Structure 1
């Protein structure tokens, strides 16, 4: 069983995260050596902080567990699509449906309501729900844009196990961070020394 770790600092952004918030979302559940993971969206406060850092929610959005769970669920669907694209295999239809649902859930205008006493009026849905739905739609649209752009050819998984992050390949670089690159080079050097013995 994997142990969840939250106190470890997050690695630096992988190449492409600055331009594609969906790539940053996919990389919020981080596997570390020793079979452990840490989740940058593990609590409602962490999810709110992550969205705030990307300009997708105000600091006082009042994120609840249901909202954080929706964000984590979208993350898993985005990860599934990125893995399928990077591996050159068909995507799971449920992942495609989840992305499309997130993009179409947000009303483009305040909705018409009708009060029996005061009559018709227009209003936005519950503020926190609207914030989360808009953030989910923005992240889903970015994932769709990335998957259908020329950048999709550069989408890859980090080449340093057990890391589970994605990046946009830049030159020959196949690691999400210097730490992962160093770990991969050390593993190759160890394998060469072991063969020579």
Structure 2
């Protein structure tokens, strides 16, 4: 069982996160050594902060748990698609459907409603729901763009267990951060020393 971690700073952005917010979203659930995890979307306040940092929500959006759960759900679907692409295997149809659903959630106009007593009227979704739907649509569209672009060839998982982050490979680099690169090199050096004994 993974133990959640709070109060730990997030690692620096992985290669490609700044250009692709969907990659940053996929990397918000971070596996740490010792079976611990850091979830940057673990609470509504953390979710609001993460969205605000990327210009996807105002500071006072008032996220609720339902909104945070929707974003975490999309994160898992996008992670599934990134894993399938990086591993060269077919994607889960449910993950493709979830991304498509998120992209089509944003109404372009106030919707028609009908009240049995007062008749028809038009209404927009509540402000927080509209903010979350727009954020979900933006992130889903970015994931679709990344997966269908030439950059998708560079999409890979970090090569330093237990890290579970994704990055866009640059040259030979297969690590999401210096910390993970150092950990992988130390593990290789340790393995070489123990083989020589």
Q: CA deviation at 1:113?
A: 4.3
Structure 1 CA distance for aligned equivalents of residues 160 and 138 of structure 2: 30
Q: CA deviation at 1:108?
A: 1.4
Structure 1 CA distance for aligned equivalents of residues 123 and 168 of structure 2: 40
Structure 1 CA distance for aligned equivalents of residues 133 and 23 of structure 2: 18
Q: Is the 8 A contact 1:112 1:121 kept in 2?
A: yes
Matched with 1:109 is 109
Q: CA deviation at 1:6?
A: 1.6
Structure 2 CA distance for aligned equivalents of residues 87 and 60 of structure 1: 39
Structure 2 CA distance for aligned equivalents of residues 109 and 53 of structure 1: 27
Q: CA deviation at 1:121?
A: 5.1
Q: Which runs of 4+ in 1 moved over 3 A?
A: 112-117, 119-123
Unaligned runs of 5+ in 2: none
TM, length-normalised to structure 1: 0.96
Matched with 2:185 is 185
- Find the residue that maps to 1:62 and give its secondary structure: coil
| Bigger mean CA deviation after superposition, 106-115 or 165-174 | 106-115
Q: Is structure 2 residue 185 aligned with structure 1 residue 149?
A: no
Structure 2 CA distance for aligned equivalents of residues 102 and 110 of structure 1: 18
Q: Is structure 2 residue 29 aligned with structure 1 residue 10?
A: no
Deviations 1:118-176 (A, max 9, x none): x7654321110011011001000000000000000000000000000000000110000
Matched with 1:78 is 78
Matched with 1:129 is 129
Unaligned runs of 5+ in 1: none
TM, length-normalised to structure 2: 0.96
RMSD: 1.2
